Structure 1
Amino acid sequence: MSLQAYKTATQRAENPRDAEYRLFGQVTRALMDAAADPNAEPARRMDALDWNRRLWSALATDCADPDNALPVSVRAQIISLSLWVSRHTSAVMRREEEIEPLVEINRMMMQGLSGGAEAA
């Protein structure tokens, strides 16, 4: 089976929650890599921060849609977190804050997407 065929099959079999978890994992890894190397290229750091901000912006946009099936209170919390992520990201870009809180928020989202929050 070719790599492209495998990717296509995986995407078809993956439910939206798994896709969100996978995307959060990729973005969080990029943030962790940027945080781990303070001497890294500024462009790499900015790319990771921008990717994370775009992910959260997309979540907020989706949650603002009246047809979104999540409960209104959960949607409001996600939108609120998105606003915080945007503000904190700007502060990180100005080197006024650290990346770690962004990583922690993403990890909490991943825990919720994996069902870990229900088990806790």
Structure 2
Amino acid sequence: MSVNAYARAQQVAATPRSTEYRLMSEITGEMIAARDAGLAGVQLAPALHRNRQAWTIFRNECALPGNGLPEDLRAGIISLGLWVEKYTSLVITGRDTIDELITVNRAVIDGLANANGGAAG
């Protein structure tokens, strides 16, 4: 199977939840690798930037009137997105560590994996 065929099959089979799970897993892995490499503050910028981008997208999507998620879940995601924005500034300026961002992302990953009683997908 060619790489292009595999990519097409993956896109067809992917659900929004599995895509979000994969994205959050990749980003969290990058943050863990950066932390474990001893990076801190501004050195974490690439991993923090990608995490911030993802949370901004989640936050914006949840703010759309046509979003089908329950209102309380949307509000929770928006609140987390705002917290990530503020906390990331503390991490990048060296006033806090990346650990809390990793913890939040892991909780989201677990939630995506367990949604509807099954794996993310």
Same fold (TM over 0.5): yes
2: CA distance between counterparts of 1:39 and 1:112?
A: 28
Q: Unpaired segments of 5 or more residues in structure 2?
A: none
Q: Is the 8 A contact 1:28 1:103 kept in 2?
A: yes
TM-superposed CA distance for 1:4, in Å, is 2.1
User: What value does the CA root-mean-square deviation take over the aligned residues?
Assistant: 1.9
Residue deviations 1:68-112 (CA, integer Å, cap 9, x gap): 011111101100000100111011000111001101100100111
Secondary structure class of the residue paired with 1:115: helix
1: CA distance between counterparts of 2:46 and 2:39?
A: 15
Partner of 2:36: 36
Q: Which amino acid aligns with 1:3?
A: V
Partner of 2:21: 21
Where in structure 2 are the equivalents of 1:18-97 lying within 5 Å? 18-39=18-39, 45-97=44-96
Residue deviations 1:29-49 (CA, integer Å, cap 9, x gap): 010011111258x55x21100
Q: Unpaired segments of 5 or more residues in structure 1?
A: none
Q: Which amino acid aligns with 1:89?
A: T
TM-superposed CA distance for 1:8, in Å, is 1.7
Structure 1 ranges of 4+ moved more than 2 A = 116-119
1: CA distance between counterparts of 2:116 and 2:36?
A: 27
TM-superposed CA distance for 1:115, in Å, is 1.1
**Aligned pairs, how many?**
117
Give the TM-score normalised by the residue count of structure 1.
0.90
Residue deviations 1:5-35 (CA, integer Å, cap 9, x gap): 2112111111110010000000000100111
Give the TM-score normalised by the residue count of structure 2.
0.89
Q: Which amino acid aligns with 1:76?
A: A
Q: Is the 8 A contact 1:111 1:117 kept in 2?
A: no
Q: Is the 8 A contact 1:112 1:118 kept in 2?
A: no
